[in-house]
Amino acid sequence: MTRNTHLQISSDPFSTSETAEYTKLVRMGDTSASYIHMVQHLIEKCLIFRMSKDECMEALSKHANIKPVITSTVWNELEKENREFFESYSETSQLIQKIISDHKANSSDSDDHK
């Protein structure tokens, strides 16, 4: 028998069934450590979807009922522990935004010449 060892990522980072499963696990253990681990896992999903800290706080508040202050605190701790990753993440995010902005400006310029 072979086991599927591939990481599966849902297109909806906060699918109800997955969030419900984590919530159930947290309630079973009912510890702050497991809750923080759940928040960390959801933040990691936000990072996969290239979300900013503010976007992540909003998404977790809306889809997982996690207070923004909790998301912010866990995010800040992750930044402290993974400084190089977050510096690279920030630089890449800024580069992506610049490319998008430049593309929009170029598209607007070409529309003006029609």
Domain contains 5: no
- The answer to whether the CB of 35 falls within 8 A of the CB of 27 is no
As a whole number of angstroms, the distance between CA 40 and CA 24 comes to 16
Q: What is the pLDDT of residue 30?
A: 55
The reply to whether 56 and 89 lie within a common domain is no
As a whole number of angstroms, the distance between CA 7 and CA 45 comes to 12
Q: What is the pLDDT of residue 5?
A: 37
Q: What is the pLDDT of residue 12?
A: 55
Q: What is the pLDDT of residue 32?
A: 85
Q: What is the pLDDT of residue 69?
A: 96
Q: What is the chain's pLDDT, residue by residue, as a tens digit (114 residues)?
A: 444 433 344 445 555 555 665 555 555 555 788 899 999 999 999 999 999 999 999 999 999 999 999 999 999 999 999 999 999 999 999 999 999 999 988 887 666 665
The reply to whether 74 and 41 lie within a common domain is yes
Domain contains 8: no
Q: What is the pLDDT of residue 28?
A: 53
Domain contains 1: no
Structural domains in the chain (count): 2
The reply to whether 26 and 65 lie within a common domain is yes
The reply to whether 68 and 90 lie within a common domain is no
The reply to whether 32 and 65 lie within a common domain is yes
Domain contains 18: yes
Q: Which domain holds residue 69?
A: 14-81
The reply to whether 47 and 94 lie within a common domain is no
The reply to whether 56 and 97 lie within a common domain is no
Give backbone dihedrals phi and psi of 19, rounded to 5 degrees, phi first: -65, -40
Is residue 65 left, alpha or beta, with left meaning phi > 0 and alpha meaning psi from -120 to 50?
A: left
